[in-house]
Amino acid sequence: MNLTDLGGCQCGACRYAVNTTPFIAYTCHCRACQKLTASACLACVQVPIEDVSLREGKPSSHVRMADSGNQLQTFFCQSCGSTLYAENSARPRVRTLHIGSLDHPHKVEVQAHIWTSRKLHWVVLPSEHRVYPEAGDWTQDYASDPTRYHS
C-alpha cells in the first residue's frame, strides 16, 4: 500500500504532507483513545517519521505515560483542537497519523484492530481483519525495514 496525501486539522491552520509506504493501519479501542477522540475508537496508520512533512502551522502536543512506561505524545492544532498524529518514545522513527486528519482517509486500508477487549459492542469488525484483544503485535509489519523501527 502506498500513501500519498495531504492532511490537516479541522480549521486548516495545521497542514502536512505524507508520501510513504505505511507499516500498518489499525483502529485502537482502548479507553485512552476513546477519551482522546471522544468517540468509539482511534483509526491510525504508522509511517516512517521522515515521510511526513509539516507544511503549515505549529501543532501543540500532550504527553501521557502509557501502562507500558512508554511516553505517548499526541500533536494537535492549538486553534481548533483536532488531533493530527502521535509519537511513541519506544518507536522514535515511527509517526502514527490519525487517519481522519488525512484529506482522503479512504486511501488507507485498515487491516487490524487492537484493544478490542474495550470495544463498544455495536462496533462490528470485518472477520478477515487481524484482531488483538489488547496491544497489537507489529513484528511482521516492521520486518520489511527494521532499521526504521529501531532508533
Q: Which residues bind Zn ion (CB under 5 A)?
A: 9, 11, 13, 28, 30, 33, 77, 79-80
Residue 115 Cβ vs Zn ion, minimum distance, rounded to whole Å? 6
Residue 4 Cβ vs Zn ion, minimum distance, rounded to whole Å? 22
Strand 71-76 and strand 91-98: the pairing is unpaired
Nearer to Zn ion, 9 or 97 (CB): 9
CA-nearest of 88, 83, 39 to 61 is 83
Under DSSP, the state recorded for 105 is G
Nearer to Zn ion, 3 or 30 (CB): 30
Cell 488507507 belongs to: 108
Query: What is the phi/psi pair of residue 136, to 5°?
Result: -85, 160
Residue 147 Cβ vs Zn ion, minimum distance, rounded to whole Å? 26
Cell of 76: 494537535
Q: Which alpha helices (DSSP H) does 7-132 contain, by range? A: 31-37
Residue 105 Cβ vs Zn ion, minimum distance, rounded to whole Å? 17
Question: By the 8 A CB rule, do 109 and 1 touch?
Answer: yes
